[in-house]
Each structure stands twice: as C-alpha cells, then as structure tokens.
Structure 1
Amino acid sequence: MIKLINALQAWRTPEFENILKHEIQNLDAELLPLQAGLSQSSYVSDAAISVVILSVTETSDLIRAKTGIFYAGIIAGSCCADDPTPVCEQTEYCEVQFDIDKRTAETKVFLLQDQ
C-alpha cells in the first residue's frame, strides 16, 4: 500500500507540488503502473523517473493528482546485430492518477489510458 504522508501534510501549502513530486519519484517503481504504460519498449528500466504534476483537484475525501511520468524502458538484445545482449533504453511517458485519502494518506494509483 502506498501512503503519501508528506504530500498529505503539505496539502494547501505552496510546497505541496514539490513534495508530491519528490515523494512519487522516491517510490519503488514496481508500485507504479509503469510496465502497463510502456509504448515503445518491453520492460521498465531501473533508471530514475521524473514526475510532472498536470493537475490537482479535491473532493471531500481525497486529493486527486494527475501526473505525467517520464521513465526509461528497455528493449533487451535488439540494439545491435553483432551482440544479442545489449540493453537499449527508450524514453517512455504515461499519465498516472494518484488518489490520496485525506484521513489516512493511503493512495490508490491508476494508469490513465486516454492521454
């Protein structure tokens, strides 16, 4: 379960977006739907991700952040005819929504398919 505690504590402050970005970028990438968001490669690389906050809205129960995530995908073994094992990284992008519960900071994560 993802808990974005620092982002929740920073809600309605000028630092909110920076704290949210930092917290997302420091999550284990396996907790994010990056593999499902691949469009040009086969596997998610271990490289760092970069987060852009696209919009933030609020309901009575949650904070909803729509983000763009840039990350690297790899196509293993397809970059050179002479060497079947090189790893070529491709830049990938997907949009991910984070729904942060205002009481618990428990966060649900959704890949947004219509980008």
Structure 2
Amino acid sequence: MIRMPLTLASWETSGFERTFKEEAATIDPELLPLQQGLSHSDHALGDDLEFVLFDAREEEGRLQIRAGIFYRGIVAGCSCADDPTPIEPVTEYCEVLLRIHRPDGSTEIELL
C-alpha cells in the first residue's frame, strides 16, 4: 500500500511541490503504473524516476494530484549473440492521478 502522509501534511504550504516530489521518489516503482504507460519500449525500468506536478486540489476529503512521470524503458530482445535489438534505454513518460486520502495519507494511483 502506498502512503503519502508528508505530502498530505504539506498541503497549502510553500514546500508542497518539493515535498510531493521527494515523497513520490520513495514509492516502490513496482506499485506505479509504469509498465502500463509504456509507449516506446516494452519493459519499464524503475530507476531514475522524475515526477512533475501539474495540478493539485482538495476534493471529497482527499487530495487529488495530477502528475507526470519520466522514466526509462527498454526493448527486451532474446539476448542471443546475433540479436539486433538495441538494449539502450529510451525515455518514457506517463501521466497519473494520485488520490491521497485523509487522515492517514493512503494513496491510490491511476494511469491517465
């Protein structure tokens, strides 16, 4: 389960965006919809994630954040000696909606 209590606590403060990015960077990449968001490769890499905050608002007792995630992916080949598939990572991008619930900061993430 994802929890973002620091982001929730920093809502409506000057440090909100920084806190969100720092806390989002600690989320286990396996819990993010990176694989489903691929468009240029077929295997998401969970390293080197960068979050971009687009919008945040409070609705129905929860904080809703629309954010972008830059990450890397690869085209996985057969790993044969003569496989021409390049293994160089490519930049991927997806947008997500995070719903952070009060009072505990439990968070749902949906791919947009």
Same fold, judged at TM 0.5 (above):
yes
> What corresponds to 2:98 in structure 1?
98
CA distance in 2, matches of 1:13, 1:27: 22
Letter of the aligned partner of 2:90 in structure 1? Q
Large movers: runs of 4+ above 2 Å: 81-87
Partner of 2:37: 37
Alignment of 1:1-115 (within 5 A): 1-77=1-77, 82-83=82-83, 87-112=87-112
TM-superposition CA deviations, 1:68-96 (whole Å, max 9, x none) = 10000111238xx8456762211000001
TM-score by length of 2: 0.89
Contact map agreement 1:54 1:68 (CA 8 A) in 2: yes
- Once the two structures are aligned, what percentage of the paired residues are identical? 42
**Whole-Å Cα distance in 2 between the matches of residues 76 and 37 of structure 1?**
16
**3-state DSSP of counterpart to 1:58:** strand
Distance (whole Å) between structure 1 residues aligned to residue 15 and residue 82 of structure 2: 50
Q: Which amino acid is 2:31 matched to? A: L
The TM-score, its normalising length taken from structure 1, stands at 0.87
Between structures 1 and 2, the one with greater helix share = 1
* Aligned partners of 1:71 and 1:92 also within 8 Å: yes
Comparing 51-60 with 64-73, greater Cα deviation is found at 51-60
Contact 1:76 1:88 in 2 (8 A): no
Unaligned runs of 5+ in 1: none
Q: CA deviation at 1:65?
A: 0.3
